[in-house]
Structure 1
Amino acid sequence: MSDVPYGVRHAALATALAAVLAVTGCAPEPEAEPPPPSTGTSPPNTLAKVDVGDALTVTATVDQVVDERALVVRDVDLADRSLLVLTRRPVEATPPQLLSAEGTVVRFSYRRLAARHHLTDPAAYRTFEGQKALVASQVTVWR
């Protein structure tokens, strides 16, 4: 290499060094892929992890229609596997349809919520008294 001009030798060495660095992993790292979008499903033990006043979104199957604005949904991720959902408008859903409900967690009190949600027979709600329930601002029934 003694008869190769100094500038050419220097350029060749720089090119070779750049190639070695690229091959050995010294090149800039590619950008990480963003995480997959949320599916909107509830993590395990969802109801146990939320407090009264918290926002909650659940996707579950309709287990029972109590009134036109009250129904019980069932899912393994819910405490006792079920949740009373109160709606602002009548919801046309029948077991075992799937629905998504978005709203606020409340402590159920028939006396406090009956008039607002047009609840009828107090006996039908006795098992929910004092339990967490969801007052839904939005309900989507998947047909």
Structure 2
Amino acid sequence: MDGRRGRVRPALAALPAVLLLVTGCTSPPAAPQPSPEPVPTTRPGTVARAEVGDRLTVTATVDRVISDTAFVVRDVDLTDGILLVLTTGPSAPAPPQLVTVRGTVIRFSHRDLDDRYRLGSPGPYRVFEGGRALVAYELTVRE
């Protein structure tokens, strides 16, 4: 009887370690972590902080079309909520289309840019004069 008791005691002592190993290997996998929140293309004030000549990508809604080569986009993430976009493409998208514009930041001057972009009357551009605008080199209309 003592012989059997001598074999059982070490086995009982090892039992907690065996249980720990078994339960550790069979526990359910950790729940998948949610993906991080999508980050807007631009953060508030990005256009204002951008230097003239910087490349910038903006996704926003077309607010209004001023001419075939100039339109205004609106988004809460933009400085003042709006941004003038100039393009040499065939025509501007129509409101309220969602667009992604990749372009270069410029300082807007109607007098300096009128000939190149066929801007027309300076009236609609007064609010943008001296501010930042985006010259598009790629324009994608989202459907």
Amino acid at match of 1:86: L
Give the CA RMSD over aligned residues. 3.4
Shift of 1:52: 1.0
CA drift at 1:96? 1.0
Structure-1-length-normalised TM-score:
0.71
By percentage of residues, which structure has more helix?
2
Q: Partners in 2 of 1:128 and 1:40 — Cα distance?
A: 23
Alignment correspondent of 1:64: 64
Q: Is the 8 A contact 1:40 1:57 kept in 2?
A: no
Structure 1 or 2, whichever has the larger Rg, is: 2
Task: Give the superposition deviation at 1:39.
Answer: 6.9
Residue equivalent to 1:49: 49
- 1:1-143 equivalences in 2 (<5 Å): 41-143=41-143
Q: Which amino acid aligns with 1:141?
A: V
What's the offset of the Cα at 1:121? Answer: 1.2
Give runs of ≥4 in structure 1 deviating > 3 Å: none
- Given that 2:107 and 2:132 are in contact with CA atoms closer than 8 Å, whether structure 1 keeps it comes out as yes
2: CA distance, partners of 1:59 / 1:73: 9
Count of residues in correspondence between the two structures: 135
Query: What amino acid is the match of 1:123?
Result: G
Is 1:69–1:89's contact at 8 Å kept on the other side of the alignment?
yes
Unpaired runs of at least 5, structure 1: 1-34
Q: Which runs of 5+ in 2 are unaligned?
A: 1-34
Q: Distance in 2 between matches of 1:76 and 1:121?
A: 28
